[in-house]
Amino acid sequence: MIRAGIVGGTGYTGAELLRLLMAHPEVEVVAVTSRQEAGRPVSELHPGLRGYLELEYREPADAGLEQCDVVFFATPHAAAMHAVPALLDARVRVVDLSADFRLRDAELWARWYGEAHACPELLEEAVYGLPELNREALHDAQLVACPGCYPTAIVLGFLPLVEAGLVDPATLVADAVTGVSGAGRKASVAMLHGEVSESFRAYGVAGHRHLPEISAVLQGVSAAEVGLVFVPHLVPMNRGIHATLHARLDGSLDLADLQAAFERRYQGEPCVDVMPPGSLPETRSVRGSNMCRVAVHQPPGQPQQVVVLSVIDNLVKGASGQAVQNMNLMFGLDETLGLVSPGMLP
């Protein structure tokens, strides 16, 4: 059995990670940490785990994390980077769900996150945990940077087009909406039901922290300079991301060509579903699942334009499910182990 520890098990991603690992046949969760909740049963904070997990929260320093095979960090940014080096020295493998190791450029990270990186030497070592892009590197990874939720939906939507040079990468536009759980489990006036319900708004238009991550990943597969406009939006639902992606085609391609390109790129990918032509994927179809569903369109009368629709559950494929998928690959397991579950309806 893989002995797993979770640092920061009080938020939504920590709860989702625990839910998934409780059903994983090859994992035993041996430690869950929280400084504020130390000594409290985990199932008191996450009642859905009652009867499945009998552990109490422990202080990180007293949790025996160095005895684990893998440690997941479900913490806010700038927390994992202070603890990861010691765990790597103890030969513990790490999957970080925060943003601490997603960017390779320490100066760029500091500019977007407002402080110097604590261990910049590890940025090059970390493997970006998008299996559809870095599957082989994940097998031997000691440190995995799990992608953000918006980057997962957007990169998977653009990847077949940018990677194959089918679009002008300077023309990328991503309009994406997320449910309120994307903001985390914290007290915030902006996230109150009365503030969010029956409303729809953009945010981060002047610059969102996921922008450099998305741009860097796409630049890594592009032969030309990437230009990306990214506008996130908040909608009154608990889970889900819907990304509507636009680009200008670099050549003469019809919808059949584009459909074939997506089907070819994602053939055999267990967690990406390329839908039939004309499909309109819904966030509810992936709720609770580790699946990304994509559909490709061409606007009528605009043969040089392509539109891609991409949907994920922000807490599963956009966070904890993808983290488990990464762990499976790191330990030589079937990457879908513990993750085969259809979307929850209604």
Active site residues: 149
| 104 within 8 A of 124, measured Cβ to Cβ | yes
229 backbone dihedrals φ, ψ, rounded to 5°: -100, 120
DSSP summary character for residue 41: B
User: Can you tell me the distance from the alpha carbon of 263 to that of 259, in angstroms, rounded to the nearest whole number?
Assistant: 6
| 314 within 8 A of 238, measured Cβ to Cβ | no
User: Can you tell me the distance from the alpha carbon of 32 to that of 65, in angstroms, rounded to the nearest whole number?
Assistant: 9
Q: Measuring CA to CA, which residue among 310, 42, 14 is closest to residue 160?
A: 310
Q: Measuring CA to CA, which residue among 315, 321, 312 is closest to residue 292?
A: 312
State both tokens at 114.
């407002």
Q: Measuring CA to CA, which residue among 95, 87, 129, 98 is closest to residue 21?
A: 95
3-state class (DSSP) for residue 312: strand
CA distances from 259 to 23, 262, 298 (A): 35, 5, 10
